[in-house]
């Protein structure tokens, strides 16, 4: 088939083109042209998002090394939109004097991790998958350590890279065991060759740890709060939504594609992980005073909820999972958007700093409230629908007890989300955060997120579109 | 679009109008217009319902409409009403309307207050018009959340504690409920989440015995089922007037309505088997609530415990599973809704003047504020079941219905529950005697002004409704009785 097959990889190549163009632009453009670096980058990335919006027919390349399904376009588009929102929110931060010189790198590295996730999603072979995984995690460490003058940032970068490498090596070890027991790494062949021998189950466990780490499930979550707290807020947002979203999707597809035969072996594992993640993260979140740590624990418990869709292992679960990622993206990015605005201007990040925020910044508090209600799963916001669908997918397979435990946890989660709302709306404050005016890109990003939170649930088109592609997975 | 959806649409438009309003005058105008429109609408619906029934339409639900919403989950946006929903819609409209006038001069942030208030009413109206389990549950949850901010921001006393307790406990109820709903849907194997469709299917008893208690308790939390009633005193006592009115008046009825329409109707076998457990619990609610009210000295706490007792009676009657008792339950929902709203409105108005709710610090108010004093006596009489007022009709029907059971268990429980009437008289008369008669306790209370026009409007509307049900109950009890019949036939299967 030659090299012409590569031309089918639209998403990857168009992203690569944007990346390379931006890199050259950053290096060779004059001072005047560099002024337009961010607008150009954002326009190009938006263009890339739109060009790759329409799903195509399913196909395979290079003997099954690369597999494309229409669903991949959906999840990649969700990641694209999320990345776009993060880039909009980071606009101001990157225009500061200290960071202007690093803008090119920021874009290049962020998009490189996105490219890695693309490959993870569309991989049809463990090798390509591993390359994707590494491309997504090693540049991520540099992003986490982006503030090179800050000790904390460097520390969290080191934390991230060490845990990431450890997790990937376990994953790689798992893959080698799979290869040892079956003699192939192609997903299509493996689906029949994996029969559930003890070695293969061990291989699965090792392999899955790499993904559990990226999704930050308990007990692989210990890096999350520290890294989330110390990294630049926009990068934390990226880490908590895009990186996590792609990893859960990949987890689901590989579980079905490769480990479909040993479904009875992995379901109990995920069952335990889901309960542990939701419960422990919720309990820890109650005590957090720093909002970024708080959202870190909240995102761990959200990941636990997503696992309910994974456990179901059905087409309905797939659709619910993708929908959940979409809604979670809007809600979490809205929350991080507000936090980053306030942190960048005032440096305040503690929950007590938010006391009386509604008096001075009603719109920001309103967006934050919507985001938190959506995360807590309160109607009419989108989070309610995504939670309901995930629970429904699990209940359809008879996991009533799991749904029940997860639902009891929503009470705890509502409590801590209400703590933030209480701080903003109820608590009095002598000197609240002064009135802030956001610049256009941030406003745009918050408008997109708010619209998403309000519309994606009440209008059923989004879910129905996703569901129409989920069958045949 | 079906015109029943107007019940949801009008509050949505109210929210839009409020959002655009600039001054207090405009806010009041929008809120009052919305309240009046909803009153007119529910009046029209009641009339249309009665004429349709008189014309011989015997369908279980009238004015149904159905739109597919989420096809993969068989979720439809489907609406429809029967006599019970009509009664509840009427009640809601009266209370929303009077609530607007009871909080005419709300301070601070009137705009935000009415925005949340409208959202709350969307939830309540939507719940009563839905016939789809999912939309019903969604509206139920919509009604829960505005409570937190309404109590937290505009409340009094231990408002933050009360708000958090109420929200979390009700959220716990909805967690139980959601498992129940998913169990009902997947257990019945129905291809629709519509209640009428599911009722045609049969849920195996092995599943019913798990999901009936979950669903019943889920709704029971909202209906103040012992021991899940503890949110009610703290929540109601710290809530602002209009919110206490709407919450005790209507939201607690969501519990009874849901327990009846979802738990009993869809899972009749388990209802028969397990009713005794919940009968004991609701019996405790009835008596314990009344005894607790005797011990309180804060007016709002007294009324909140009295609500626990009266709402317990609603659930108690529902669990008797016969036609008379079920009709009585719905009548009690109506009667208690109006009466407790009147109580909370009056308490709010008295508190606004005296700045205390402790009965020990008040006295002789009848001489100072006669209008409010007389209204308070009327509310009290309705509460202790004076013939001619709504409370008598409802409680009489309930106890007759309950006594129709010939076995010892039901009869003993019924007799115990009837004692609450006496206890109610004790706490009502004690309060009336203490705060309205005797000498004025506090010299500051000697020159209080009586009710303003908007307060009078709100109080008079409620009193008229109470009198109407009390003196001419048959049109409404007939309407309810017709609609109870399908549930009875479901139970007889």
A164-211, pLDDT tens digit by residue? 999 999 999 999 999 999 989 998 888 888 888 899 999 999 999 988
What is the model's pLDDT at position A472? 55
What is the model's pLDDT at position A335? 94
**Rounded to 5°, angle at Cα B224 from B471 and B222:** 95
Mean local confidence (pLDDT), B184-207: 85
B110-126, pLDDT tens digit by residue? 888 898 999 999 999 99
Q: How far is B482 from chain A (nearest CA, A)?
A: 33
As a whole-number percent, the residues of chain B with pLDDT over 90 amount to 11
**Rounded to 5°, angle at Cα B139 from B282 and B346:** 60
What is the model's pLDDT at position A248? 92
- On whether any CB of chain A is under 8 Å from the CB of B162, the answer is no
Whether A291 has a pLDDT exceeding 60, the answer reads yes
- Cβ atoms of B209 and B273 within 8 Å: the answer is yes
- Cβ atoms of A295 and A335 within 8 Å: the answer is yes
Which one of A358, A395, A427 makes the best mutation probe of the B interface by having the most chain B beta carbons within 10 Å? A395
Tell if the CB–CB gap between B160 and A422 is shorter than 8 Å.
yes
Which one of B182, B217, B239 makes the best mutation probe of the A interface by having the most chain A beta carbons within 10 Å? B182
Euclidean distance between CA atoms B490 and B82, whole angstroms: 16
- On whether any CB of chain A is under 8 Å from the CB of B121, the answer is no
B394-406, pLDDT tens digit by residue? 888 899 988 888 8
- On whether any CB of chain A is under 8 Å from the CB of B182, the answer is yes
The separation between the first and the last C-alpha atoms of chain B, rounded to the nearest angstrom, is: 36
Whether B442 has a pLDDT exceeding 90, the answer reads no
pLDDT tier at A324 (50, 70, 90 boundaries)? very high
Of B99, B418, B403, B96, give the one whose Cα is nearest residue B242.
B99
Whether B376 has a pLDDT exceeding 60, the answer reads yes
Tell if the CB–CB gap between A404 and B179 is shorter than 8 Å.
yes
pLDDT tier at B382 (50, 70, 90 boundaries)? confident
B321-354, pLDDT tens digit by residue? 888 888 989 999 989 999 999 989 999 888 888 8
Per-chain mean pLDDT for chain A = 89
Tell if the CB–CB gap between A418 and B141 is shorter than 8 Å.
no
Q: Which residue of B has its CA nearest to A319?
A: B72
Of B29, B34, B31, B30, give the one whose Cα is nearest residue B7.
B34
ipTM value: 0.90
pTM of structure = 0.93
Mean local confidence (pLDDT), A118-131: 91
Better-predicted residue by pLDDT, B362 or A240: A240
Lowest mean pLDDT segment, chosen from A159-168, A191-200, A430-439, B474-483: A430-439
Residues 246-285 of B with CB under 8 A from A: none
Euclidean distance between CA atoms B220 and B319, whole angstroms: 12
Residues of A in contact with B164 (CB under 8 A): 415, 418, 422
What is the model's pLDDT at position B1? 57
| Angle (deg, nearest 10), helices A244-257 and A126-144 | 170
Whether B77 has a pLDDT exceeding 60, the answer reads yes
Q: How far is A384 from chain B (nearest CA, A)?
A: 8
Residues 6+ apart with CB under 8 A from B103: B113, B117, B240, B241, B242
pLDDT tier at A471 (50, 70, 90 boundaries)? low
Q: How far is A412 from chain B (nearest CA, A)?
A: 8
Q: How far is A214 from chain B (nearest CA, A)?
A: 29
Residues of B in contact with A402 (CB under 8 A): none
Residues 6+ apart with CB under 8 A from A93: A99, A232, A234, A340, A344
Lowest mean pLDDT segment, chosen from A439-453, B60-74, B165-179, B437-451: B437-451
Euclidean distance between CA atoms B324 and A364, whole angstroms: 54
């Amino acid at each position: 088939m030659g090299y012409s097959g590569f031309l089918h990889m639209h998403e990857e190549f168009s992203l690569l083109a944007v990346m390379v163009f931006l890199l050259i632009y950053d290096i060779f453009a004059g001072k005047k042209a560099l002024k337009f670096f961010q607008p150009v980058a954002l326009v190009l990335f938006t263009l890339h998002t739109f060009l790759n919006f329409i799903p195509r027919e399913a196909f395979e390349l290079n003997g099954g090394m690369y597999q494309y399904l229409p669903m991949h376009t959906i999840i990649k588009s969700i990641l694209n939109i999320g990345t776009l929102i993060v880039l909009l929110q980071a606009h101001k931060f990157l225009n500061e004097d200290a960071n202007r010189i690093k803008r090119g790198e920021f874009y290049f590295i962020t998009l490189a991790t996105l490219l890695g996730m693309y490959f993870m999603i569309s991989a049809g072979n463990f090798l390509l998958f591993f390359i994707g995984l590494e491309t997504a995690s090693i540049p991520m460490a540099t992003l986490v350590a982006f503030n090179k003058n800050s000790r904390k940032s460097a520390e969290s970068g080191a934390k991230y890279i060490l845990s990431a490498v450890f997790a990937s090596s376990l994953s790689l070890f798992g893959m080698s065991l799979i290869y040892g027991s079956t003699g192939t790494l192609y997903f299509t062949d493996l689906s029949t060759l994996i029969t559930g021998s003890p070695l293969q189950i061990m291989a699965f466990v090792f392999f899955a740890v790499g993904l559990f780490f990226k999704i930050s499930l308990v007990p692989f979550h210990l890096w999350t709060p520290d890294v989330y707290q110390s990294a630049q807020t926009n990068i934390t947002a990226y880490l908590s939504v895009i990186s996590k979203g792609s990893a859960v999707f990949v987890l689901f597809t590989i579980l079905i594609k490769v480990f479909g035969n040993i479904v009875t072996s992995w379901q109990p594992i995920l069952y335990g992980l889901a309960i542990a993640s939701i419960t422990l993260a919720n309990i820890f979140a109650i005590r957090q005073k720093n909002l970024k740590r708080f959202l870190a624990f909240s995102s761990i418990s959200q990941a636990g909820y997503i696992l309910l869709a994974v456990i179901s292992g059905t087409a309905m679960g797939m659709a619910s999972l993708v929908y959940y990622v979409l809604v979670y993206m809007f809600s979490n990015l809205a929350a991080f958007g507000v936090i980053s605005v306030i942190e960048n201007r005032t440096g305040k990040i503690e929950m007590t700093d938010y006391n009386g925020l509604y008096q001075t910044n009603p719109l920001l508090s309103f967006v934050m409230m919507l985001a938190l209600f959506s995360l807590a799963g309160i109607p009419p916001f989108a989070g309610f629908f995504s939670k309901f669908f995930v629970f429904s997918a699990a209940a359809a397979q008879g996991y009533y007890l799991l749904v029940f435990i997860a639902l009891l946890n929503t009470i705890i989660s509502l409590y801590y989300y209400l703590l933030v709302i209480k701080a903003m709306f109820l608590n009095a404050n002598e000197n609240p955060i002064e009135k802030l005016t956001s610049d256009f890109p941030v406003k745009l990003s918050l408008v997109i997120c708010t619209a998403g939170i309000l519309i994606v649930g009440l209008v059923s088109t989004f879910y129905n579109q996703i569901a129409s592609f989920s069958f045949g997975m | 679009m079906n015109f029943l959806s107007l019940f949801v649409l009008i509050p949505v438009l109210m929210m839009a109008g409020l959002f655009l309003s600039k001054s207090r005058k405009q806010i009041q105008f929008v809120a009052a217009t919305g309240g009046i429109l909803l009153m007119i609408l529910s009046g029209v619906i009641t009339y249309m319902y009665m004429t349709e029934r008189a014309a011989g339409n015997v369908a279980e639900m009238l004015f149904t409409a159905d739109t597919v919403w989420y096809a993969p989950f068989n979720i439809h946006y489907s609406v429809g009403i029967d006599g019970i929903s009509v009664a509840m819609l009427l009640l809601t409209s009266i209370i929303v309307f009077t609530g607007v006038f009871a909080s005419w001069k709300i301070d601070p942030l009137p705009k935000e207050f009415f925005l949340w208030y409208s959202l709350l009413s969307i939830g309540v109206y939507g719940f009563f018009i839905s016939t789809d389990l999912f939309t019903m549950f969604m509206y139920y949850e919509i009604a829960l959340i505005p409570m937190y901010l309404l109590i937290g921001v505009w409340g009094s006393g231990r408002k933050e504690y009360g708000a958090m307790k109420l929200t979390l406990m009700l959220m716990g109820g909805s967690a139980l409920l959601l498992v129940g709903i998913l169990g009902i849907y997947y257990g019945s194997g129905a291809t629709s989440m519509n209640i009428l469709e599911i009722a045609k299917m049969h849920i195996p008893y092995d599943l019913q015995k798990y999901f009936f208690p979950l669903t019943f308790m889920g709704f029971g939390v909202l209906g103040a089922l012992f021991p899940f009633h503890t949110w009610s005193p703290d929540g109601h006592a710290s809530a602002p007037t209009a919110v206490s009115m709407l919450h005790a008046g209507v939201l607690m009825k969501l519990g009874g309505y849901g327990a009846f329409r979802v738990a009993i109707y869809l899972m009749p076998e388990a209802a028969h088997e397990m009713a005794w457990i919940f009968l004991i619990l609701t019996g405790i609610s009835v008596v314990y609530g009344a005894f607790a009210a005797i011990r309180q000295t804060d007016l709002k706490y007294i009324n909140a415990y009295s609500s626990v007792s009266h709402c317990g009676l609603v659930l108690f009657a529902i669990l008797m599973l016969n036609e008379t008792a079920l009709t009585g339950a719905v009548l009690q929902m109506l009667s208690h809704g109006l009466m407790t709203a009147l109580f909370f409105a009056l308490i709010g108005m008295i508190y606004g003047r005296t700045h205390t709710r402790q009965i020990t610090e008040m006295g002789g108010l009848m001489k100072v504020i006669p209008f409010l004093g007389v209204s308070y006596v009327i509310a009290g009489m309705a509460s202790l079941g004076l013939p001619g007022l709504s409370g008598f009709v409802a409680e009489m029907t309930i106890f007759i219905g309950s006594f129709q059971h010939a076995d010892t268990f039901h009869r003993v429980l019924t007799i115990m529950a009837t004692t609450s009437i006496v206890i109610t008289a004790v706490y009502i008369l004690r309060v009336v005697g203490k705060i309205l008669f005797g000498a004025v306790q506090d010299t500051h209370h000697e020159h209080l002004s009586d009710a303003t026009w908007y307060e009078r409007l709100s109080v008079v509307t409620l009193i008229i409704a109470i009198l109407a049900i009390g003196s001419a109950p048959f049109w409404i009890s007939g309407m309810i009785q017709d609609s109870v019949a399908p549930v009875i036939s479901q139970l007889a299967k």
